[in-house]
Structure 1
């Protein structure tokens, strides 16, 4: 048994606590928020319990299914036929299947053929090591042509990564395409999943499993410092609270690591600081009327400054329409300083452009969720930039969503990494030679 402290009660931190306790370790889980769940946490949306930030499940997400099975909630997994579209030229263009591709007016015949071949081959590839040093733009243009990138991808990349848009990893993009591409009922029908009751069902099951095994969860406790002595971790301090530890798993965003672990060597702190993140303000609208028949609408329309609209109620059946409009942006972008009310009003106006029948009378409630570190910027050769999970301080493991690379953020990758870190508890208690950071 190793006395373990886990920092962060998001999906990865909760899963790490669950797995560590199952292995017989003593666990304290500490979280700055007043509720567990992180990006998977729910909020009360005018009487409806719903995720702060939208989540969906794909068929390749095996670690999610394994975790749900272990928690006894595998029967809560639900699948639903879904569809997607592009909004361009003032109208919706159905997307995501061969017929939609053949009949679309967004691309010319040659572009359709090249795009279809590239996506088909990508969804069937096992790995993307050959794309690790290639930019997403170069990869798309090489496979589908410059016209496809300019029409379908560039507007989305610009509104998610801004000044970093031209330098995003092709391996990261291709992995996302493969994950969704493999979540199909048939060649003509996409099928995505959700957990009955929302991601809160999983969060509650994890909390119950943790407390049932004697794990302690400390909410509303912001960590000030990870303490160490003699090259090994000794505990975690949060205000007046000190939790002694022989092992610590830190799941907070990497930009926060240098502040939390000042005893790390300078090279290690610099490696964490070098990982860039994009913020997000995710606006949720609860409506009487549907915006579109699609779960996901990519927006490539001049004058609409969001990359997409996610009509979550077209995946998870709900009594009212729930639509998410994410504003991804660097936190030095002028819009980051806008109030929630300003972004709520602007995004509702965008929904009205997509569906002109939508009126103010159709709006039941609106809410904005904000995260400063929401999306790591994964440039070409990003794999070599990620620090080792085992830090130079013995007993201290550090990982956040950028460690999922080339996979994107998601519960499945969090569960996979949590299991690996739990298994490593107690295996590195002796000071080790400092790893090389590039």
Structure 2
């Protein structure tokens, strides 16, 4: 006789919703708890001008198989769109096109040797096997980049990117993280012209989130929004349940899909050794300004920054990928900045942040004016990007835990891959399979 498990899923992001959906398909009794009113986590949306828009930018690569499979399963493959995109680079006061082979061959800051070396290394990394990162995991990212791409390429392209992404943690970063990023994006280029081809879902990630929620509820699942789980109870080395606001719920299985620091704070009764292992995972926060502009800023989807006067991890002009026709031809711009939540800039007021960022935009496009701004929104998340340091595989926690019936998913487990929507779906599927095994 098949045993039906009572399962709690903590966190209604993509991984949590996927795990809940997969378990509900298998006939399990699943309850999902999400502290926010809106599901989706880092892939959640908010209303802007009468239409929903993602809090953070997302794009799909040609090899994002878990996401593509899920879209087909949910009947959403007709909502998938592909577009050829362009990449820019703002370097020392000038905006360059930097995404196609011809752009590289005519890039003034590089010598001919720099250009050839850069292009060959991109092609070589793209051609490597999926596990090509393993041989460089114990190598600092700066050492690997200088050796492979050269000092000039490192100074112009890679050092600013890593510094703006990881801040005080940059020196600890493993080369495996950069390898995986180059490998994924390289696989999303057309074979002949090597032009980048990226995808998006009509309606954004909300289309996916709504469909997962709908299927989960149809399967008998339950969702509690606006409920912050405060404690995961452990008794005699096994999970007993969860509690919030003085209420205790008994469960056979608890799956945490929240960031590891939040998971560690909830866990009561686990061994000190396990808690110490979980607590050693560092993560960096993000704040991101979304602008709705009445004029386009650049012709590029993604502009990397290599200029000491601009503290942005990039300028993402989302409407150069997804036209968002419901915004009437306006441009949607994302301006992310990664930094620890303890950094005083993280608490900067929205108005002050907007003023600082509009100054950056004026440098990138001297024609930019503040009266272009029709609406803006600021999003912040304390734990956005795990720091995958040298030798990270030896330290990252597994999905299974020493506590019977307790499972953990966190984007750090994707190492060396990035925290994409597709990878989060894969993580949700993996934990569901482990529970059912």
TM-score between both structures, scaled by the size of structure 1: 0.95
Paired with 2:13 and 2:115, the residues of 1 have a C-alpha distance of 40
Once the two structures are TM-superposed, the CA of residue 257 in structure 1 deviates from its matched residue by 1.9
Once the two structures are TM-superposed, the CA of residue 89 in structure 1 deviates from its matched residue by 2.9
Counterpart check, 1:346 vs 2:356? yes
Paired with 1:48 and 1:139, the residues of 2 have a C-alpha distance of 44
Instruction: Specify the SS of the correspondent of 1:271.
Output: helix
Paired with 2:420 and 2:436, the residues of 1 have a C-alpha distance of 27
Name whichever of 213-222 and 347-356 sits farther off.
347-356
Once the two structures are TM-superposed, the CA of residue 334 in structure 1 deviates from its matched residue by 2.6
Once the two structures are TM-superposed, the CA of residue 241 in structure 1 deviates from its matched residue by 3.6
Match of 1:136 in 2: 141
Counterpart check, 1:278 vs 2:284? yes
- 1:10-29 → structure 2 map (5 Å cutoff): 10-29=13-32
Deviations 1:99-118 (A, max 9, x none): 11101112111111111111
Match of 1:39 in 2: 42
Instruction: Specify the SS of the correspondent of 1:367.
Output: strand
Deviations 1:281-320 (A, max 9, x none): 0110000011100000001112111121000111111231
Aligned length: 427
- 1:8-407 → structure 2 map (5 Å cutoff): 8-126=11-129, 127=131, 128-186=133-191, 187-318=193-324, 319=327, 320-407=330-417
Instruction: Specify the SS of the correspondent of 1:18.
Output: helix
Instruction: Specify the SS of the correspondent of 1:425.
Output: helix
Instruction: Specify the SS of the correspondent of 1:237.
Output: strand
**Unaligned regions of 5+ residues in structure 2, if any?**
none
Once the two structures are TM-superposed, the CA of residue 67 in structure 1 deviates from its matched residue by 1.1
Contact 1:7–1:248 (8 Å) recurs in 2: yes
Once the two structures are TM-superposed, the CA of residue 426 in structure 1 deviates from its matched residue by 4.9
Match of 2:435 in 1: 425
Contact 1:2–1:426 (8 Å) recurs in 2: no
Paired with 1:5 and 1:33, the residues of 2 have a C-alpha distance of 16
**Unaligned regions of 5+ residues in structure 1, if any?**
428-438
Paired with 1:401 and 1:362, the residues of 2 have a C-alpha distance of 36
Name whichever of 104-113 and 189-198 sits farther off.
104-113
Instruction: Specify the SS of the correspondent of 1:50.
Output: strand
Contact 1:5–1:243 (8 Å) recurs in 2: no
Paired with 2:263 and 2:275, the residues of 1 have a C-alpha distance of 7
